[in-house]
A and B are shown apart, each in its own frame.
Chain A
Amino acid sequence: MSSDIETLERLEAEFLAAVKDALDEPTLDAVRVAALGKKGRISDLMKGLGGMSAEERQSMGPLLNGLKDRIGEALAARKAELHDLKLAARLASERIDVTLPVRESPLEAGRIHPLTQVWDEVVTILADLGFAVEQGPDIESDFYNFTALNFPEGHPAREMHDTFYFEPRADGARPLLRTHTSPVQMRTMEKGQPPFRFVAPGRTYRCDSDQTHTPQFHQIEGLVVDENTHLGHLKWTLEEFLRAFFEVDGVELRFRPSFFPFTEPSMEVDVRCARLGNEIRIGEGNDWLEILGCGMIHPNVLKSANIDPERYQGFAWGIGLDGLAMLKYGIPDLRAFFESDLRWLRHYGFSALNIPTLSGGLSL
């Protein structure tokens, strides 16, 4: 009996040493087979239990089982250890140069034009006040661009517009490029019923070209028609709009009487600003910057749209989108908007995912 125990102890020591000495998984597996495999030495001893007396079995059983468990545990532990060692060795051999440059993604390379960005900003702000968005054609008739908007035939006010004309048609009509977005007023009002509340952004044209004028530019027209809207509402709307657009705490506006054939009273609006070198800051300072034209819609315009001017009234304003973009984003030259210089577009353009929202901030 004692010799049996000694044999078991020797066997245990022998296998534990073999486990410890195994340097890779195949060697370790060979040790397992030699000990615990079908024909393994420990398995053989286990098989011998059957031929023992109940007494012997009672004492040898636990001893053998204990041996089997301990060798099994040692094998498992060594297996895990060898696995870790192997992984460590692999990781130690695998290295990249993490400073190697990677490709710019298309998302980073793409840009949205500042004009589009500002367009989206303006529409987002005014949508909150319930302004719908209306659009109309670039090639207009004399009627929609002038006559319906109370520009009398031959009136000098028409000449202020430097209009692009097409050749006269056989029927005497003379199509033109719209000089402002105001024709959309008429087109929208004549196909609907008051009340109206909409903006009309779009491309406009005048044959004029210098440092501050380009033959095409962009305007957004805003219009409210109902039974009670007056100049005070106009003032508030413009103040709120400009405050939100320039993302400042407040703006101060100065209204100056002016003249547009389609509004009465008509006014130009200056905004308080500071001029710091080439930079203009809205909402501070002691300077004034002319920023838009507006007024109460002329009764003749309402009449042209078959709206009763005795009952309905409202305001309209027009503002340059290009100018808004220049002011807000410090873009110095209007002409560059249409030159498609890649360097300019990359510098002043916006990421595709920079979508203006009121909740998240327009330009953050």
Chain B
Amino acid sequence: MKFTLSWLKDHLETDATLNEIAERLTTLGLEVEGITDPAKKLGAFTVAKIIEAVPHPDADKLKLCKVETLIDGKREIQQVVCGAPNARSGIFGIFAPSGATIPVNGMVLKPTKIRGVESNGMMCSERELELSNEHTGIIELGDGFEVGMLAAEALGQNDPMIEIAITPNRPDCLGVYGIARDLAASGLGLLRQGNIAPVAGAFENPVTIAIEPDSDTACPVFAGRLIRGVKNGPSPEWMQRRLRAVGLRPINALVDVTNYISCDRARPLHVYDAAKLQGAVRARLGREGESFTALDGKSYDVDADMCVIADEAQVLGLAGIMGGEASGSTGATTDVFVESAWFDPVRTARTGRRTGIVSDARYRFERGVDPAFVLSGLELATRMIVEICGGTPSEVTVAGRAPEPEKRVLFDPARTQKLSGLALDVSEQTRILSALGFVVTPQGGLLDVLAPSWRLDIDGSADLVEEIVRVHGLNKVVSVPLPRPDGIARPVVTGTQRRDRLARRVLATRGLVETVNWSFIPARDAALFGGGDEASPQLRFANPISADMSHMRPSLLAGLIAAAGRNIARGFPDLALFEVGQQFAGDGPEDQKQAASGIRRGTARPQGAGRHWQSTGGQGKAGPVEALDAKADALALLAALGVPAANLQITADAPAWYHPGRSGVVRMGPKTVLATFGELHPAVLHDMDVAGPLVGFEVLLDSIPEPKRKATRARPPLDLSGLMPLRRDFAFVVDAQVPAGDLLRAARGADKQLVSEVTLFDLFEGGALGEGKKSLAIEVTIEPHEKTLTEEEIEAVSKKIVAAVEKATGGSLRS
């Protein structure tokens, strides 16, 4: 909402300075977003008189002027070379002295010689001062100006423009008058009502007005009158200046009056050229197939949900949004029909959204226009039109009835202190409410408060407290300590929150860098990771911000791989990234799952990325990342989250986005998948245009059973054996397909009493073993508990181990 200081002062009698007004506006909740003072850029410019203008001796089109100026009290005659055709002796214009900055181009004037003649300063055109595009000549001021007067004053450019943000609950402040009312209530001045008294009609209104039954809620009231014999030229200079200052283009007097009242009183109106109307003017719902051309020159289709204004022949306009081109007023208009109606905010907003029309009328109607000001607005418009354009008004015709939303609150003044902590007298509370237009009647210890018709936002006591505190001054609220919980603070985060927090820290200790990627990804990427239009069409936006952000992500890997691609392109090929966040299998709350996922790319292995002199690869190169690096990340995280490694199984059936032979699944029991890991499928990387090697893991945090809460923090007693453990090595030859995990499990299970640890220390394939065979060598730790083992007993355990492994794997002890 924009307005000028002088416009505000039409309604507010005040001595307050611009700064005081601006501060108070913000205090009242009418946040000042900016103040533009046009006088600032014109500070150096003054009125000057050309006392002589003769042709330049060496240039046909230039004139040599003697200009009388008065700057800082010094009267001087300056010599100015001027090219304007209208430069002549006797006229008053605007003079820019040497040193002044010309607004339109930022040029700083210097004394100069033009075609050999000295020139000091310049006479300005309107364009040079950014007043208009007029540049055919210099500004010619009329009578009543004196040499030395400030240009801002002479040009009427001394009216600062204030721009404020209006929250959706305050449509009453979409008019200058409403703003003045708030300021007056806060004690910054007196509110001036202005003349909105009825203008008597000279004849019966010949235009029939009707509201069709289908529209009695869309348009409960429609008032209008005809004004005959108007002369529709440009509106007066003062009105044009104000409209321009708030960013509106003056059109003609009739249209300007409606725009002016819209800004002045938050009361949108419409004027029709009565000669172009055919028959009765009605508010009704649109009909399928109808269309009309609006004042913006575009054609709009109308439907049965939209309220329109129509005559017998055609749709004249979209109610409360925009009028039509065909019935608009022009310079030729002599009889004008003025409409003042009230339109349902919800329907207006809906129609506005559907047509995409953004207009000042829509903006006001959809937020709620004062229904009690329908007639006053019409009278105000009549008065202004008659004053500016002449003409004779008819009587007023009113169809329907303005809604009277009686918003009445039985208000307990103690509520103010209860909600705000501010102790305010009932008298002060009453004063504030009354100043804002509320009607306050004491009723017992309570107040019966009737909200004014323009405050459609008032529903209950809390709204009144807001009004009272807002006007009294929110900054007078005193800080009061919030009572603290008794004793030392208790833990507040839940198990899952602690889990997520720990997951992030654990992964970062493993050299992975945390990222936060978009929750939405392109359709193609979603499809690669089990989502997309076919698998989960419900996760596609109806209104995506771009094609790259059209679907909710089914996996965090998509964003991580895309991030890897961007970093590779920047010259950072070795990356270890992770994210802990939400991924989506569907649109229900239960379909949103937390995952902790990561990728390693290039040489970003756990032992360090890039080249290093200690690396065993040639030229200090570390080897490329491997699927098992990702497995290590996943298992380390699961271990940190309290999942006992002994309970986990690893299977080789990872989802389709992994390399089928180099990926795995971490399970707890046959059904629960805790994690997946592996090399990414080359086709996935190809489709995403990211070069490998690239491995990844996904830990499905929500699948991890929450650890059982123990009754005590005490650890179980430590059972230490006083006997030395002993270690034995075994090597087995097995088929190449036999999973090492099977062999290890068999060895561990061979004697649960004595075998405490089994470590795989060598893996060898091919060579002397022959095709399709491999050798797995393990170190078994045997830990006696009761007595030192004899050679025979050790031999017996070893045999059990060999037997168990051979049985489980079909292999044999390597001789």
Do A and B actually bind? yes
Name A's B-contacting residues (CB within 8 A).
100-101, 103-107, 109-113, 115-116, 120, 123, 127-133, 135-139, 152-157, 159-160, 164-169, 175, 177, 203, 205, 207-209, 215-216, 224, 228-233, 235-237, 239, 254-259, 264-268, 296, 298-300, 313, 337-343, 345-346, 349, 351-353, 355
- Which residues of A lie under 8 Å from residue B517 when comparing CB positions? 338, 340
> Given contacts A116-B514, A254-B475, A342-B567, are A355 and B613 in contact (CB under 8 A)?
no
In the bound assembly, the distance between CA atoms of A239 and B614 in angstroms comes to 53
Whose C-beta in chain B lies nearest to the C-beta of A144?
Answer: B589
Contact: B538 with A169, CB < 8 Å? yes
Contact: B514 with A349, CB < 8 Å? yes
- Which residues of B lie under 8 Å from residue A105 when comparing CB positions? 511
- Which residues of B lie under 8 Å from residue A235 when comparing CB positions? 477-480
Partner of B421, one of A165, A232, A256, A338: A232
Central interface residue in B514, B582, B591, by most chain A CB within 10 Å: B514
Contact: A115 with B474, CB < 8 Å? no
Other A-B contacts than A136-B589, A138-B592, A257-B29, 4 sampled, CB-CB below 8 A, are A127-B489, A154-B349, A167-B542, A255-B477
Partner of A215, one of B545, B589, B592: B545
Contact: B474 with A233, CB < 8 Å? no
In the bound assembly, the distance between CA atoms of A217 and B78 in angstroms comes to 62
A131 to chain B, nearest CB (A): 6
Q: Check: B764 CB closer than 8 A to any chain A CB.
A: no
Q: Which B324-373 residues sit within 8 Å CB-CB of chain A?
A: 345-346, 349-350, 353, 366-367
Contact: A123 with B493, CB < 8 Å? yes
Contact: B29 with A100, CB < 8 Å? no
In the bound assembly, the distance between CA atoms of A313 and B540 in angstroms comes to 39
A135 to chain B, nearest CB (A): 7
Contact: A230 with B508, CB < 8 Å? no
- Which residues of B lie under 8 Å from residue A138 when comparing CB positions? 519, 552, 582, 584, 592
Central interface residue in A113, A298, A299, by most chain B CB within 10 Å: A113
Partner of A107, one of B420, B509, B567, B572: B509
B513-546 CB contact bits vs A (8 Å, 1 = yes)?
1111111100000000000000001111111110
- Of B37-45, B211-219, B275-283, B601-609, the one contacting chain A is B601-609
Q: Check: B271 CB closer than 8 A to any chain A CB.
A: no
Contact: A299 with B485, CB < 8 Å? no
B578-600 CB contact bits vs A (8 Å, 1 = yes)?
00011010011101100000000
Q: Check: B431 CB closer than 8 A to any chain A CB.
A: no
- Which residues of B lie under 8 Å from residue A135 when comparing CB positions? 497
Contact: B508 with A112, CB < 8 Å? yes
Contact: B572 with A342, CB < 8 Å? yes
Whose C-beta in chain B lies nearest to the C-beta of A164?
Answer: B541
Contact: B509 with A130, CB < 8 Å? no
Question: Once A and B bind, how many residue pairs between them come within 8 Å at the CB atom?
Answer: 268
Q: Which B390-426 residues sit within 8 Å CB-CB of chain A?
A: 417-422
Contact: B572 with A343, CB < 8 Å? yes
- Which residues of A lie under 8 Å from residue B608 when comparing CB positions? 103-104, 106, 109
Contact: A133 with B504, CB < 8 Å? no
Central interface residue in B168, B422, B482, B581, by most chain A CB within 10 Å: B482
In the bound assembly, the distance between CA atoms of A153 and B543 in angstroms comes to 19
* 17 A–B contacts, CB within 8 A, in A order: A106-B606, A110-B512, A129-B485, A138-B519, A138-B552, A138-B582, A155-B168, A164-B545, A203-B519, A203-B581, A216-B518, A235-B479, A236-B480, A313-B418, A340-B563, A342-B513, A355-B505
Contact: A265 with B479, CB < 8 Å? no
Partner of B482, one of A133, A233, A267: A233
Contact: B589 with A137, CB < 8 Å? yes
B32 to chain A, nearest CB (A): 10
In the bound assembly, the distance between CA atoms of A116 and B542 in angstroms comes to 30
Q: Check: B244 CB closer than 8 A to any chain A CB.
A: no
Contact: B466 with A265, CB < 8 Å? yes
> Chain A at the B interface: mostly helix, strand, loop or mixed?
mixed
B31 to chain A, nearest CB (A): 6
- Of B146-154, B261-269, B457-465, B686-694, the one contacting chain A is B457-465
Contact: A232 with B465, CB < 8 Å? no
Contact: B474 with A267, CB < 8 Å? yes
Whose C-beta in chain A lies nearest to the C-beta of B552?
Answer: A139
- Which residues of A lie under 8 Å from residue B470 when comparing CB positions? 257, 265
In the bound assembly, the distance between CA atoms of A156 and B485 in angstroms comes to 40
Contact: A166 with B169, CB < 8 Å? no
In the bound assembly, the distance between CA atoms of A105 and B510 in angstroms comes to 9
In the bound assembly, the distance between CA atoms of A159 and B353 in angstroms comes to 10
In the bound assembly, the distance between CA atoms of A168 and B543 in angstroms comes to 12
In the bound assembly, the distance between CA atoms of A339 and B474 in angstroms comes to 40
Contact: B566 with A339, CB < 8 Å? yes
B681 to chain A, nearest CB (A): 21
- Which residues of B lie under 8 Å from residue A345 when comparing CB positions? 513-515
Contact: A103 with B479, CB < 8 Å? no
Central interface residue in B559, B587, B606, by most chain A CB within 10 Å: B587
Whose C-beta in chain A lies nearest to the C-beta of B584?
Answer: A139
- Which residues of A lie under 8 Å from residue B815 when comparing CB positions? none
> Given contacts A166-B540, A298-B462, are A232 and B480 in contact (CB under 8 A)?
yes
- Which residues of A lie under 8 Å from residue B567 when comparing CB positions? 340-342
Contact: B346 with A154, CB < 8 Å? yes
Partner of B479, one of A205, A239, A352, A353: A239
- Which residues of B lie under 8 Å from residue A133 when comparing CB positions? 492-494, 497
- Which residues of A lie under 8 Å from residue B540 when comparing CB positions? 166-167
- Which residues of A lie under 8 Å from residue B345 when comparing CB positions? 154
Closest 6 CB pairs of A and B: A257-B29, A106-B511, A259-B167, A232-B421, A352-B508, A265-B466
B266 to chain A, nearest CB (A): 14
- Which residues of A lie under 8 Å from residue B552 when comparing CB positions? 138-139
Central interface residue in B31, B167, B485, B567, by most chain A CB within 10 Å: B167
In the bound assembly, the distance between CA atoms of A265 and B418 in angstroms comes to 13
In the bound assembly, the distance between CA atoms of A229 and B494 in angstroms comes to 25
Contact: B482 with A112, CB < 8 Å? no
B105 to chain A, nearest CB (A): 28
- Which residues of B lie under 8 Å from residue A167 when comparing CB positions? 537-538, 540, 542
Contact: A131 with B480, CB < 8 Å? no
- Which residues of A lie under 8 Å from residue B572 when comparing CB positions? 342-343
Q: Check: B710 CB closer than 8 A to any chain A CB.
A: no
Contact: B509 with A352, CB < 8 Å? yes
Contact: A153 with B587, CB < 8 Å? no
Q: Check: B570 CB closer than 8 A to any chain A CB.
A: yes
In the bound assembly, the distance between CA atoms of A198 and B566 in angstroms comes to 39
In the bound assembly, the distance between CA atoms of A164 and B550 in angstroms comes to 10
Contact: A110 with B479, CB < 8 Å? no
Whose C-beta in chain A lies nearest to the C-beta of B582?
Answer: A138
> Given contacts A123-B493, A230-B419, are A256 and B479 in contact (CB under 8 A)?
no
A154 to chain B, nearest CB (A): 4
Contact: A166 with B587, CB < 8 Å? yes
- Which residues of B lie under 8 Å from residue A153 when comparing CB positions? 346
Contact: B507 with A341, CB < 8 Å? no
Partner of B516, one of A115, A120, A127, A353: A115
Contact: B489 with A232, CB < 8 Å? no
In the bound assembly, the distance between CA atoms of A141 and B589 in angstroms comes to 10
A100 to chain B, nearest CB (A): 7
Partner of B466, one of A123, A257, A338, A351: A257
Contact: B513 with A266, CB < 8 Å? no
> Given contacts A154-B349, A169-B538, are A257 and B474 in contact (CB under 8 A)?
yes
Central interface residue in B346, B501, B572, B589, by most chain A CB within 10 Å: B589
In the bound assembly, the distance between CA atoms of A168 and B538 in angstroms comes to 9
- Which residues of A lie under 8 Å from residue B501 when comparing CB positions? 120
- Which residues of A lie under 8 Å from residue B563 when comparing CB positions? 339-340
Contact: A255 with B485, CB < 8 Å? no
- Which residues of B lie under 8 Å from residue A352 when comparing CB positions? 504-506, 508-509
A304 to chain B, nearest CB (A): 14
- Which residues of A lie under 8 Å from residue B515 when comparing CB positions? 113, 340, 345
In the bound assembly, the distance between CA atoms of A214 and B514 in angstroms comes to 19
In the bound assembly, the distance between CA atoms of A280 and B73 in angstroms comes to 45
Contact: B512 with A256, CB < 8 Å? no
Whose C-beta in chain A lies nearest to the C-beta of B559?
Answer: A340
